[in-house]
Structure 1
């Protein structure tokens, strides 16, 4: 870290991450009774390597390098007489199954308090898409409750709560590109942001890929992960050409098998002009293309929708986790 506070390399200890908990810059406790708006960003995996076999805990060892995007959900949180979670559009499952609800309950248990909040989630990140929508909503909920209760986001209980909800949740508490290991939930290194890099996102209009099913198929016929170190070295040196040359995901072949349209989208996007790298987000169903220009990303999105009827969105890489504004 330089004297000016700018990131000059990796940050091995996330407790010292200056980007974590954007809300801290605006104060530690929200005014009593006031509502909050929190933007919760999506993510893509620049690298995903799932290792064969499972540990004693039943989970695979996973290495991943992720970055956030400016595609976001928006959460409105306010004190209430009980915990309530609603989504727009309305979810087709009970609120108790929502990750934001689970995160609030877990925070209540961790800090021995009643998590009585009304949470409304304006959904823009599609579900079952590999973009981390449920995980980012959970992280935003955790950070919002930290703000209301005056909890330091660096409290070790916060990481424990995040990891109990899902593997991607700890990543969203931070913001810059990061390497996570363990189950894909343990922060290892943070890197300089790739802010503003254009990305086109395309997925089938309906359907998706179950992560559970993807891992089951992977266990039946494992696909070797690409070497991790070249990606880490490229991220450390902030060599964009090398970074995008080493984009990799060994769950992508499984995703293509489970949803043939994903393979069709991958092949089509690789043929588009001004594309630097194409791969599957997580276990699917979204495919991302890193583009040379924002115009190229937008053209891909328009063509995907008009010519094929796929869901599409042009986005940019970001450097932040949840952003809080007090109403």
Structure 2
């Protein structure tokens, strides 16, 4: 069986406090986009994971897809599978590619073996693998809070806008980004701000990671500046970086940014 895990962007990201368990509480809006990997599960004698496309650091047989399989295997007598993953979503970009892959493996296993897991049950498995993994089970825009793994429905639709994403040749460590951020509660919750007209977002919707990441990687800040110079209505770094997305009111081409970066149009 074959599926196509998609990336996400963060429409705003506020780090609100440091938790006693070492994690951070935050608020953000996850929004799915059309940059996709491909993942397949097929019957096999032993369970393995083979990765193609973009290189992923670490042992392929201990990645999130394998961890997802092993979580369900612990509870259900499912047979061995070969997991084939074609990576296209940039790594270290704040796009949730690895989280999407493992969530889609959970959904594939549920469908292939007719486990009849509910969305809530699949989300519970996904939460054990990472804070944003559960989002990809239902894969619809949500307001996310606590560790980023609790959701409320968010009625937001950007389909009428032209969206662009720029990924520079920079890998931002999520752990490093969190180590440098200073948690603070916003004066107004993103849950309210996100429903204001998109034309007002530039002055209201922020990403708390930007200040520290931009200081370390000024080329990311320059990308955001260039997107606004090109006429973007709104631009923001996604997650902890390094990608920056922009929302335009009409189609654009950005040849200058294409010279040194990956540029994805109409995401």
TM over 0.5: yes
Query: Residue 40 of structure 1 corresponds to which residue in structure 2?
Result: 5
1:212 matched to 2:175 = yes
Compared CA separation, residues 190 and 153, structure 1 to 2 (3 A) = farther
Compared CA separation, residues 243 and 172, structure 1 to 2 (3 A) = farther
1:54 matched to 2:7 = no
Judge conservation of contact 2:6–2:100 (CA < 8 Å) in 1: yes
Structure-1 separation of matches of 2:23 and 2:38: 31
The answer for unaligned runs of 5 or more in structure 1 is: 1-35, 317-327
Structure-1 separation of matches of 2:230 and 2:258: 14
Judge conservation of contact 1:176–1:191 (CA < 8 Å) in 2: no
TM-score, normalised relative to structure 2: 0.91
RMSD over aligned Cα, in angstroms? Answer: 2.1
1:171 matched to 2:171 = no
The answer for unaligned runs of 5 or more in structure 2 is: none
- Number of residues of Structure 1 aligned to a counterpart in Structure 2: 266
Q: Which has the higher contact order (CA 8 A, sep 6+)?
A: 1
Structure-2 separation of matches of 1:272 and 1:120: 39
1:315 matched to 2:253 = no
Aligned structure 1 segments of 4 or more residues deviating by more than 3 angstroms: 223-229, 233-237, 239-246
Structure-1 separation of matches of 2:96 and 2:261: 19
Structure-1 separation of matches of 2:225 and 2:46: 49
Structure-1 separation of matches of 2:10 and 2:256: 24
Q: Name whichever of 150-159 and 140-149 sits farther off.
A: 150-159
Query: Residue 241 of structure 2 corresponds to which residue in structure 1?
Result: 284
Judge conservation of contact 1:252–1:280 (CA < 8 Å) in 2: yes
Query: Residue 104 of structure 1 corresponds to which residue in structure 2?
Result: 69
Match of 1:233 among 161, 177, 192: 192
TM-score, normalised relative to structure 1: 0.75
- Structure 1 segment 237-316 matched on structure 2, within 5 A: 239-242=197-200, 246-273=204-231, 275-293=232-250, 295-296=251-252, 299-300=253-254, 302-306=255-259, 309-316=260-267
